[in-house]
Amino acid sequence: MSSFFALFKAQAYQVVERTLQQSYLALSAILIATVICIPLGILIAKKPRLRQYVLGFNSIIQTLPSLAVLGLLLPVFGIGIKTALIALILYALLPIIRNTAVGILNISPDLLEAANGLGLTRFQRIRLVELPLAIPIIIAGIRTATAMAIGISTLAALIGAGGLGEFIYEGLALNNVNLILLGAIPAALLALFFDFLIGYLEKILTLKHLPRSYSQKSFWRMSLVATCVVMVFYFVFAPASSSQENIVRVGSKNFSEQLILGEILAQMIEAKTNLKVDRTFNLGGTFICHRAILKNEIDIYPEYTGTSYSVILNEAGLQDPVQVFRYVSEAYLQKFNLVWLKEFGFNNTNALAVTQQLAQRYHLNNIEDLARVASQLTIGVPADFMERPDGFIGLKNKYHIEFKQVRLMDVGLMYKALYNNELDAIMAFSTDARLRSYNLVVLTDNRHLFPPYYAAPVIRMKFLEHHPEISNILSPLAGKITNEKMRQLNYQVDVMRRTPEDVAKEFLVKNHLLANLPQ
C-alpha cells in the first residue's frame, strides 16, 4: 500500500484532472439523456405501439458491447469527447426511458380519474400528478444509468477522451497494479458520490424530509449548479481546436513501447519549440491511431513499417527493410498526405514465444515446429492481431496452424498468464524486455511471415508544412535506438515499474538529445 500512496501523491494532480474529465463525461451524458428520456418515456406510456419500437431499439443498443459501439461511432465522429459522450448517452437511454414509462403506467387509474374530475388539463395532470408519483421509479432509472455511465466512461481513454481509464489502461499495458487502482478506486468513489447526490435529489423531489418551499428552491439551485458545472467542465476539458497553431498533438498506441516513444517525441518537441504538446496516448490500436491522424485529431505518432505495410496498405511480399520503408513512405504520402520521418533504428518484429519447459518438451525451435503440436496448446494474442494479415490470419495461411484455444488478452497480461501456465504460447514483440525477464523462447519465423517492423514518427504533411522545424528537431533520433536499447527502455518500464515519462527523459538526457538540437 505504501507504493500505491506514493504513486497517488506523485500523480495527485492528474488524478484530480482525470476525475473531473470523467465527471464531465458522465454528468453531461446523464443530463442530456434525462432531458431526452423523461418526455419520451411519458409519450410511450401513452402510446403502446410506439413503446414497443422505442424500447426494442434501446434494448438492442444495450446488448451491444460498449467497445463495439465506440468502434461504430469512431468513423463518423472520430476520437475524443464527442464520440464517448454519444456512446454514453445511448447506453443511458434505456433505463431512464423504461423507468419513466413504468412509473407513469403504474399510477392508479383512480388517481387519474380524480385528476380529470378536478378539471386538470393533460399537461397539468402530468406535471402535478403523474410525474410526482412516478419520481421514485424515474430516479431509480437515472441511478442505474449513472452507474453505467461512470463505468463505461473508463473506456473513453481508448479513443483519446481522457478520464480515469487512462490510468487503468496504462496500468494494464505496464502490468502495474498500482496504476490500475489509481484509476479504479476514484472511479468507484465517483460512482458512490453521484449515487448520493441523486439520492438527495430524490428526497428533494419527493418532499419527504424538507419543507415544500425550501425543497423547490433547493431543486432549482442544484439544477443551476449542475448546469454551471457541466459548462465549466466543457470549457476546461474540451479538446483544443485544431486551428490553434501553437499546439502539437502527439499520439501513441496502448502498450509500453509506444508510451515511451510518444514521450520521447513529446519531450523533444517541448524542449526545442514553443509548441504546446497535447498528449493523446493509449489509443486502442493501429486503426484508431491511423484514423485519428487522417481526421486531423492527432498530428504525429510512432508507427511501424511492417504494420503499415501489411495492415494499413494490405500488402505482402517485401522483406527488405529499405524497400519496405521506401514503399510505405511513398504510399502514405500519395494516399494519405502523411510523411514518414527517419527511423528510430530498431526492428520490433512480431514473434511467437513459449516457455523453456514447453520448448524442451516438444523440441520447438521455429513456428513450423509449433504448428505440429498447436492443436494441444492455448495461445494468447492481442485483440488487433486476430484479423491482421501479419497476425493470426497470416499464421493460418502460411503455417496452417490451428490452436486448441485462442485467448484475446491485453499485452501486459499475456506474459504473466504464460508464466502462470494459463497459456502455452503468446504473440509477442521482439523488443519486449519481458521475453528475457520470463526466460521465454522466441521461435524462429522460418517461413518469413513477418515483415520488418522498423519504428519511425508519422506526421501530417499539412502540419509539417506549418512547422518544418519538427523534422530537424526529431532528426537526431534517427538510428539512435537499437534493438538492445529499446529492450532496455522497455525493461525499465515493464519490469522496474518506472514511468514512461521518466524513462524517456533519462534516455534523452543520456544521449544529449535535449540540448544543441538543430533548429
More confident site: 183 or 203: 183
More confident site: 471 or 222: 471
Specify the 3-state DSSP secondary structure of 427: strand
Query: pTM of this prediction?
Result: 0.74
Least-confidence region, from 139-148, 192-201, 253-262, 489-498: 192-201
- When pLDDT is averaged across residues 381-404 and rounded to a whole number, the result is 85
pLDDT at 519: 40
Distance CA 329, CA 366 (A): 32
Q: At the top level of CATH, which class does the domain 350-443 belong to?
A: alpha beta
Task: For residue 412, name the pLDDT band (cuts at 50, 70, 90).
Answer: confident
Amino acid at 160: G
Q: At the top level of CATH, which class does the domain 2-237 belong to?
A: mainly alpha
DSSP assignment, residue 375? G
Residue 445 clears pLDDT 70, i.e. is over it: yes
Cα-trace Rg, the chain: 27
Residue 237 clears pLDDT 60, i.e. is over it: no
CATH no. of 247-347+453-510: 3.40.190.10
Q: Which residues of 118-145 are buried (b: 16+ CB within 10 A; e: fewer)?
A: eebeeeebbeebbbebbbebbbbbbbbb
Alpha-carbon distances, residue 278 vs 76, 162, 197, 256 (angstroms): 23, 12, 33, 18
| Topology alike, domains 247-347+453-510 and 350-443 | yes
Residue percentage of the chain with pLDDT more than 70 = 90
- When pLDDT is averaged across residues 464-475 and rounded to a whole number, the result is 94
Domain positions in the chain: 2-237, 247-347+453-510, 350-443
HEC secondary structure over 226-279: HHHHHHHHHHHHCCCCCCCCCEEEEEEECCHHHHHHHHHHHHHHHHHCCCEEEE
Distance CA 480, CA 344 (A): 6
Closest CA to 176 of 417, 421, 505, 495: 495
Distance CA 516, CA 117 (A): 87
Parallel, antiparallel or unpaired: strands 405-408 and 247-253 = unpaired
- When pLDDT is averaged across residues 333-337 and rounded to a whole number, the result is 96
- When pLDDT is averaged across residues 25-54 and rounded to a whole number, the result is 89
